Structure 1
């Protein structure tokens, strides 16, 4: 049998199979067969293959990237909504998917930009970086602030530059699509006629009907109670014990020795030293990095000639740049690059520029991947240094502040570490650290006006399943700068139905309110039918003991109840000699019967040219947004998007 297997495995089919195995191993390595790949992405975007299964574009959105964007969105929502911010609702899977979808759209745009060969120049990245407010001091870009901010975020210069470049690339296509949209004058005029339309109304504010003389029976009350169980439930409540660490109340040193301060000064010397600042301009003679020798030599010779012209007495470098530079980003500005800091441009470019020590000097041609540069040092501002004696008080105050933060971090870290080891009880950890355990009374999801339960983050943690149901000690909850609490739910009173006997008076009030609302609706609908049948509004007003109010040329933004305005502008325009009627609910049991007697289109003559142009631009932008959304939908049909909801 073994011989038969050997004979069968020596034909051309066997050779093909063996060849396929060898090729696969050559591409992917033997370890691919034995090391299973563990996926960690939150979402993955894959483009179509260029050849069979090869050449696919691929981009993953990591869980860490998603969490950073999610926390950023949380902070923005908290700032915008204030006390109205609902942490539990924000944590919903719908909210997370919305944020992830936006990240997927960004990834799609970046992949398309990559596919189409759209690139972002170093100058564009540098300009974007300098415009970011977190790197500015008093509205001006600060290299020291840039370095300190990146260090605080644990990022290198190369990593941040790459992220800025990727962000610009992802926004390039959307900006072009939105910016290229066009809106016509005819569309604008139709919109303005409608949006500035006014209507003449006659209003009859109907009286609230009376309740029946006979009150509801107990059976009717019981039936209402049974039909509306959600109205008559007690609030879910919890009580927690907690440990609080406030950095402001910790014992910190009040003196510091001179040697410590001087060592701190030496460590932070770059903060007190201002490096020389260089303002530069350049002329670029473009030459691709893979250009042939003849093309490269010709570009270098042209750059050398321009350098010689720039060094000539009375030469106008800006004029030479406007006429000869191939850098479209700076050409119109005479080659102006602004302030050039270390690390923003190609190493060869910076080395040549930083070698100049006098304003007005011009370099020899410098080669970078973009081509040959002729660089002029336009301004050179000397650096400065603040001596130790001038900053001693500042260093001392900072030392005490850092010590307070260190003690706070150390104590809170020990508390968190202990609660991780024993997450079912808070008292043992607090006792080991000498911290008092405090307790709240029962409180609901809305909290109380003061105390710990007034803090939204505490309530969110207290009512989460991990604390409320599993009775786990919470993570540290930040309630202020260097101020945390750790809570443990010790009592839980679930939501429950309130017995009918305890809420009978509320049931009677709610049922009567509903009866009035239904009676008001029925009265309004009956009068509306009579008005449409030909009875005048004045005759109906006399019947119900009210008068008709007349309002001429009311715009959509008039100071009337929104429901009334919405209905008044929704009904059809009146036909010749025949008004249009409608009703609007403006209160729980209050209805208004109205008639529209005239409709006046918006007057376009009241708009000046500037306003007209502004609105036309807004129209075009709105259309561009719609076109961009449709373009994104189309891309999702070409690119494959995989989402791992279990990792969000």
Structure 2
């Protein structure tokens, strides 16, 4: 048997197969045959291969990143809609796909920028950072604010610069496409006419139908079984954590005098300022190869100018403008601005710093450029705060610095111990003398105590912590305040028992029945209105009156869905009514009818207003064109969405 296998495994074909197996293992490793990969992405984007099956661009959108973005979208919708926010409706798969699609577009643009080699220079990135409002104080870029912002994000300067550069690169081409948007005069006229169009409406606010009969137990259970996603308790976790709060650390309260005096000497530049001198000069240039006679002649000319400048009432600026050979300063009357010691060494500095009164002129000073006639244009006296004057300030700063040092040392010790064993937090807590605490279970969206902080929940539900059970990195939750956590318990998402949510099920079922009944009532009345029955008769039948809404425009302060439906309907004619249904609430509908349409009047619009509206139209068209460009690019990539993980 073995000899047969040996005989069959020789030859060119066998060696070819063996070579392919070796190559495969070299690229993917033996482990890939025995360790199945667990997919955790919400979406995966794959580009075309550069060579056969190699060189593909592949990016994934992890579940935790999608969940964070979806939660941000939820909060934005809640803030925007207020009491009208419907959490259950927002949880629909359509809402989730809308958020995920935006993330996919962003990834595709980043992949295109990477593929096409679009790079952003450091200067452009730095300019972009200085334009970001979160790094500004009173409208101006603040380096301190920038450092605080990076600390809150947990990023280094290099990491953040790379992130901003990648984002700018991904927006480069869509931005260029958008910049090509334009609008002709005819298009502007048409858009303005539509925007200022007026419509007269009639509205019947329909009553909510009577409550249905109390649902049976069978109906409740059937609803519960078919709407399990509404009654699923989300995944919960519990954590062990240690917390370092700089405000509660034990620090020295007394500092010896010698330490304070030494700190004063080390930082003396903060408390002692040297006088600031501003200079003006007249240059009498001397060429590098000038002989002694030429040098002396230049000196005599400079001396004459100095003597002239010292005369009562002399105008040094006028002399500089007329006689100075320094092209850069003569137009400003020879002004050089503030000059610190060391900026000009040798005779120039000696001459300037030998002057003691504003307006005083020194004898000519020689430099390689020639002879300088120097005037002390301004003198700001220096100042000095003695040790006794700043002692309390130095002591307070020293104690604050000590608090920062102790906080930093303790944090470093904790992280170092965690790195030694990232699978358990208790040893690190014991080694550093910190209390190991435990939280109650909490969800991705809400928690109590330490879990009330979004940063903590985000870290706890990240895959390395929730799935792999690793100890987290330090999480900055405030100035000199950090948390390190370890997930110790995971409760999977589970259907809440029927008995616990019976009343919720009853309320949801009744609300759904009312909604359907209201919609059915509206559809039946609309059918009759379209068949020719008057709005007045229909309103009377349901105990309502017809509300007249004249001169409605797209900008009118009415419910958005009403405006949308009113301007979706066609203009009325003699053969057919122009009517539709508007949903005003979960169980409230209205009938709306267009009775007259009037074109917008444009005569009173001045040129400035027209131009501003043209720019709005250009921007709208640019946005549409950029979106079309992104959709075209998406067709070049393969997108896989894990619907079951949304």
TM-score (norm 2): 0.58
Equivalent-residue separation in structure 1 for 2:593 and 2:611 (angstroms):
36
The 1:129–1:316 alpha-carbon spacing in structure 2 relative to 1, beyond 3 Å, is farther
1:375-390 correspondence runs (5 A): 384=382, 386-387=384-385, 389=387
Residue in structure 1 matched with residue 204 of structure 2 by the alignment: 204
The 1:553–1:456 alpha-carbon spacing in structure 2 relative to 1, beyond 3 Å, is same
Residue in structure 1 matched with residue 226 of structure 2 by the alignment: 227
Residue in structure 2 matched with residue 399 of structure 1 by the alignment: 398
Unaligned runs of 5+ in 1: 1-62, 64-69, 115-119, 281-310, 326-332, 343-347, 368-376, 642-648
Shift of residue 184 of structure 1? 3.4
Say if 1:109 and 1:170, in contact at 8 Å, map to a contact too: no
Secondary structure at 1:239 match in 2: strand
Equivalent-residue separation in structure 1 for 2:497 and 2:167 (angstroms):
59
Shift of residue 526 of structure 1? 1.7
Shift of residue 393 of structure 1? 4.0
Equivalent-residue separation in structure 1 for 2:545 and 2:400 (angstroms):
72
Equivalent-residue separation in structure 1 for 2:221 and 2:128 (angstroms):
67
Residue in structure 1 matched with residue 424 of structure 2 by the alignment: 425
Say if 1:113 and 1:170, in contact at 8 Å, map to a contact too: no
1:583-622 correspondence runs (5 A): 583-621=581-619
Question: Which deviations, in whole Å up to 9, do the C-alpha atoms of 1:608-639 show, x marking residues without a partner?
Answer: 444333333444455566677889999x99xx
2:515 maps to which of 509, 517, 525: 517
Secondary structure at 2:568 match in 1: coil
Residue in structure 2 matched with residue 536 of structure 1 by the alignment: 534
Residue in structure 1 matched with residue 188 of structure 2 by the alignment: 188
Equivalent-residue separation in structure 2 for 1:405 and 1:187 (angstroms):
63
- Cα RMSD, aligned residues only: 6.2
Equivalent-residue separation in structure 2 for 1:338 and 1:396 (angstroms):
41
Deviates more, 1:429-438 or 1:218-227: 218-227
Secondary structure at 1:418 match in 2: helix
1:281-296 correspondence runs (5 A): none
1:251-270 correspondence runs (5 A): 251-265=250-264, 267-268=266-267
Secondary structure at 1:607 match in 2: coil
The 1:501–1:396 alpha-carbon spacing in structure 2 relative to 1, beyond 3 Å, is closer
The alignment status of 1:98 with 2:106, answered yes or no, reads yes
1:456-495 correspondence runs (5 A): 456-495=454-493
1:73-472 correspondence runs (5 A): 95=103, 98=106, 101=109, 182-213=182-213, 215-265=214-264, 267-268=266-267, 313=318, 384=382, 386-387=384-385, 389=387, 391-448=390-447, 450-472=448-470
Unaligned runs of 5+ in 2: 1-58, 60-64, 81-95, 281-315, 353-357, 362-367, 370-374, 638-646
Say if 2:276 and 2:338, in contact at 8 Å, map to a contact too: no
Residue in structure 1 matched with residue 26 of structure 2 by the alignment: none
Equivalent-residue separation in structure 1 for 2:225 and 2:126 (angstroms):
67
- Higher Rg: 2
Residue in structure 1 matched with residue 6 of structure 2 by the alignment: none
TM-score (norm 1): 0.58
Shift of residue 595 of structure 1? 0.2
Deviates more, 1:575-584 or 1:593-602: 575-584
Shift of residue 459 of structure 1? 1.6
Shift of residue 552 of structure 1? 0.9
Say if 1:236 and 1:494, in contact at 8 Å, map to a contact too: yes
Say if 1:106 and 1:171, in contact at 8 Å, map to a contact too: no
Equivalent-residue separation in structure 1 for 2:505 and 2:164 (angstroms):
61
Say if 2:455 and 2:475, in contact at 8 Å, map to a contact too: yes
Deviates more, 1:542-551 or 1:192-201: 192-201
Say if 2:112 and 2:170, in contact at 8 Å, map to a contact too: no
Equivalent-residue separation in structure 2 for 1:579 and 1:459 (angstroms):
55
Secondary structure at 2:555 match in 1: coil
Shift of residue 169 of structure 1? 12
Residue in structure 2 matched with residue 43 of structure 1 by the alignment: none
Say if 1:209 and 1:516, in contact at 8 Å, map to a contact too: yes
